[in-house]
Structure 1
Amino acid sequence: MSKMENSGRVISLNRKRRQNASMTKKVDMLNTQARVVAITSGKGGVGKTNIVANLGYALGKLGQRVLVFDADLGLGNLDVLLGLTPRYNLSHVIDGTKRLPDIIVNGPGNLKILPASSGIQEMTKLTFDQKVEIFNELNALLSKFDIVLIDTAAGISSNVLFFNASADEIMVVVTPEPTSITDAYALMKVLSVKYREKHFRLLVNLAKSTREASDVSRQLCLVADRFLDVSIEYFGSVLMDENVKSGVRKQKVISEMAPMTQASRNFAELAHKFMRSEPMIPRSDNRPLIWQDIV
């Protein structure tokens, strides 16, 4: 291995720390059995945060200890969606006044929430050391949870790519809108070409029918099979349901407010399917996370 390769040694967040004297800055590996899932999208406005909240709630109803990490660092809104008013957020961890466990708040059901900040531009430009500190502290928390859902921002910014590349599995949320499909493809392309991510799960939101959702999945998979060296698993869909908008207005997850609606049934089905599934990316030395490229 060359010096350049050594300087870019990769660290998997779910295996033991490699002892490498040439690396002066490291992150502690997330070596618990908690599944770390990044839920992401190429385009904003696809209902991603609503999916995170409802899927997390549904998993909690199945007895899972779920932590939701709002990783939209500059424009976090998960707390608003859930009607929460946290006193502290991730910006207080970054400035050193609080530790990560200090800012966790209780969400609906059994959910635990790590709130992000909103309207603080500096949070969108974290340094290498700040990112390392976040994951060192997160590592100490993960033994307390079964599942960690990372609600990333949309797009292909460095923070979005960082959190996606740090997870065991990546679930891309897309809607039937052409712009959403195009941007989802672009996100997977960047993660594949630049960060060697090869496995994705796809969740179609706001489809009018299961057939429309399947068509969206088929369209993306055909293009990806032709132009990208990736595997995409169609994980399921959440159909259009006006009750979801009502839940957003009332700052309630629809799965709690109206458990028998179409969307709530979809979230329950997705939670059961998730529990039956295995992480798409096995925990092994082959899981790359290239810090010098992501920062």
Structure 2
Amino acid sequence: MSKGELSHWLMSQRSDFRPSRELDLGFIATNTKTIAIASGKGGVGKTTASLMLAKQLVNSGKKVLLIDCDYNLSNTAVKLGLPLNDNFYSLLSMEKSFSECLHKDGNLHLLSGCNGNSDLFDKSFEHDRFIIDVISEHGNEYDFILLDCPAGIGKETVNLAAYADHRFMIVNPDRSSITDTYALIKILKQKYSVSENHLVVNRVSSQTQYLRVVKSLMDTVSTFLEGQLRVLGPVKFMNTPVDEFDRGLRGAEKNSLHKYFSKIVHKFTDESTGLFENVLNSDFKPSVEQEVQPTL
């Protein structure tokens, strides 16, 4: 498949695709929305964001499939305190059915990746195409499908992000995270003409810092790529030990993390998804002792 054909095929899989000519691509329209959760840099809280977004969508009455697309370095099961498994490889090798490979918690279904599976490491396959095939076959079973993409600008991440109906860029308020996220947005625009993305600023310590990150990215994307960033909001930095944080992530009780992601989901599902002028009215109010010098 040529670069042009691949680009057209990937774009054709999106539910908002409208072909300019008659194509035989086997595409079946669906009401399912696919969201790629991505970041230019690792360690920014992308997997936590994926899990929280999935939980909040379920809480709003939706049925959600979360796919850990880091197929041999999976973290979703670890974050949820689940036993590690090789279900991704079992599905790929057709040893188990799709349903057998899922962890099911009510209306939240998880297809986790493997962790250092040597058979998967040695196997040559297009893992992005495999995931898209899974979505094409089972997408009509869900309201939302979330793709927890590997960090960076690898081919698989770029292809999956281009395929998705929406892209949530998770960024931290530091230069490397912002620079790398812009690089991912730029590659998506140059390769697949993707001009619209959503932005979540994670681990923010002040309103000033948050607004600086938003303005920096929005201005750069608009000026140099003629693209649009829809800002979904901040998530405050929480100085919590990792074990305690993960227990809170697994627990059903509501905490401040749930509050932030509930607002993000509400903003996303609202037709008036916010642009920068709405961000100025954010109710993000860190305490004085958490106020830090912006890193930008």
Equivalent residue in structure 2 for 1:42, among 31, 40, 43:
40
CA distance in 1, matches of 2:202, 2:3: 42
What is the TM-score with the length of structure 2 in the denominator?
Answer: 0.79
Work out which of the residue numbers 59, 62, 68 in structure 2 matches 1:70: 68
| Counterpart secondary structure, 2:94 | coil
Name the CA distance, whole Å, in 1 between partners of 2:153 and 2:210.
24
Give the structure 1 partner of residue 258 of structure 2: 264
- Higher relative CO (Cα under 8 Å, sequence separation at least 6) belongs to 1
In structure 1, C-alpha distance between the alignment counterparts of 2:232 and 2:84, rounded to whole Å: 32
Amino acid of the structure 1 residue aligned with 2:46 = K
Shift of residue 225, structure 1, vs aligned partner? 2.0
Q: Which moved more, 1:240-249 or 1:179-188?
A: 240-249
User: After superposition, what is the alpha-carbon deviation per residue over 1:66-87, rounded to whole angstroms, capped at 9, x for unaligned?
Assistant: 1111111221110110111254
When the two structures are superposed, what TM-score results if normalisation uses the length of structure 1?
0.80
Aligned to 2:282: none
Match of 1:238 in 2: 235
**Contact 2:68–2:76, Cα closer than 8 Å, also in 1:** yes
CA change 1:221–1:118 in 2 (3 A) is: same
Q: Name the counterpart of 2:92.
A: 94
Percent of aligned positions with the same letter in both sequences? 27
Query: Structure 1: how far apart are the matches of 2:53 and 2:241?
Result: 13
Residue pair 2:7, 2:192 contacting (<8 A) in 1 also: no
Q: How does 1:1-295 map to 2 (within 5 A)?
A: 9-11=8-10, 12-13=12-13, 14=15, 19-20=23-24, 28-29=26-27, 31-85=29-83, 87-107=85-105, 110-120=107-117, 122=120, 127-128=125-126, 131-243=128-240, 245-250=242-247, 252-253=248-249, 256-259=251-254, 261-277=255-271
| CA pair 257-10 structure 1, distance change in 2 beyond 3 A | closer
**CA root-mean-square deviation:** 3.0
Q: Which moved more, 1:77-86 or 1:237-246?
A: 237-246
Equivalent pair of 1:168/1:279 in contact (CA under 8 Å): no
Q: Note the C-alpha offset of 1:272.
A: 1.5
- Given the superposition, is the C-alpha separation of residues 74 and 5 from structure 1 closer, same or farther in structure 2, using an over 3 Å criterion? closer
Task: Give 1:168 deviation, angstroms.
Answer: 0.2
Find the aligned partners of 2:159 and 2:3 in 1 and give their Cα distance. Answer: 21
* Structure 2 match to 1:287: none
Task: Go from structure 1 to structure 2 and tell me whether the alpha carbon gap of 1:97 and 1:116 turns closer, same or farther (over 3 Å shift).
Answer: same
Structure 2 portions without partners, runs of 5+: 275-296
User: What residue identity is the alignment partner of 1:40?
Assistant: A
1:65 touches 1:111 (CA, 8 Å); kept in 2?
yes
> For this pair of structures, how many residues does the alignment match?
267
User: 1:101: how far off?
Assistant: 2.7
